[in-house]
Amino acid sequence: MEKLADLIFPRQCVFCGKYFKMICETCLQACRVNFDENCIVCDLPSSNGNTHKTCFKKLLPTNLFCCFEYVGYVEKCIKMSKYGFKEFAVLKELTEEGIKISLSINQNKEYEDFVVVPIPLNKKRMRSRGFNQSEIIGNILSKKFELKMNTKLLKRIKNTITQAGMNKEERAKNIDKAFVADTSASGLNVLLVDDVCTTGATLIEASKVLYRAGALEVKCFALAKTPKT
């Protein structure tokens, strides 16, 4: 059906209007790749995005990988996917490109034997949007890396308010006790997936409950990262 719809109503770049893709090649090149690999805890540079030994504590993720900087076209694409249901196709194309970057630097070797787990939405937001953007990213990621995806391991039980404009401490408080993990996470290596990483508070909180449920290791993958100001 999607291919038929594309024939009848050809896709157009949401930025320049060129046909056949939601983001044309020219506009994709304007999307800023995130070359800075940082520790998820202190946000300082780290080798391969690994959590610094001096920052690492029990229940924290061991690694963070982000494809793009959350600015310009990337920011606009992700916001479109959240607040305009018909535009979520643009998120798919951006994710495909981001995963190509990941593959090009051999991130696939880092995720062997991991299970993809997208950050869940609360029921109210899921009903209003009709889909979970992190699940869309996770689905594409799992197929490209030939990994299993499990949307049942992690559940959001707290209706958190939007975190835009909050600092690191406020975000951590807002997301505290927002998730529960199923005991079937026991013995698994988990790759947590989200659309945007700002302070890492959401990914860190989700990691904690997965570890408490018995996960062996948790790594994180975000499509975009908010740059330092």
Q: Which tokens hold the place of 134?
A: 């992190």
Cα three-residue angle 129-169-177, rounded to 5 degrees: 55
**Rounded to an integer, what distance in angstroms lies between the CA atom of residue 41 and that of residue 207?**
12
| Phi–psi pair at 19, nearest 5 degrees | -85, 160
pLDDT of residue 64: 95
Q: Is residue 30 over pLDDT 60? A: yes
Q: What is the mean pLDDT of the chain?
A: 86
Q: Which residue has the higher pLDDT, 177 or 52?
A: 52
**Rounded to an integer, what distance in angstroms lies between the CA atom of residue 88 and that of residue 191?**
22
**First CA to last CA distance, the chain:** 43
Per-residue pLDDT tens digits for 207-217: 999 999 999 99
**Rounded to an integer, what distance in angstroms lies between the CA atom of residue 4 and that of residue 218?**
40
- Return the C-alpha torsion angle 124, 130, 131, 133, nearest 10: -80
Per-residue pLDDT tens digits for 118-155: 999 877 776 766 778 999 999 999 999 999 999 999 99
* Amino acid in the structure at residue 95: T
The average pLDDT across 6-29 equals 79
DSSP secondary structure string, 36-48?
--B-TTT--B-GG
Per-residue pLDDT tens digits for 68-126: 999 999 999 888 877 665 567 888 889 998 888 877 876 556 898 999 999 998 777 76
Nearest to 122 by CA among 113, 114, 132, 112: 132
Of the pLDDT bands very low, low, confident and very high (cuts 50, 70, 90), residue 1 is: very low
The average pLDDT across 164-192 equals 87
In the chain, pLDDT over 70 holds for what percent of residues?
87
Helix (H) or strand (E) holding 154: strand 154-156
pLDDT of residue 7: 47
CA contacts within 13 A on the Cβ side of 27: 21
Per-residue pLDDT tens digits for 37-65: 999 999 999 998 999 999 999 999 999 99
> Angle between the 168-175 and 201-212 helix axes, to the nearest 10 degrees?
40
pLDDT of residue 106: 60
* Domains, the chain: 31-225 (3.40.50.2020)
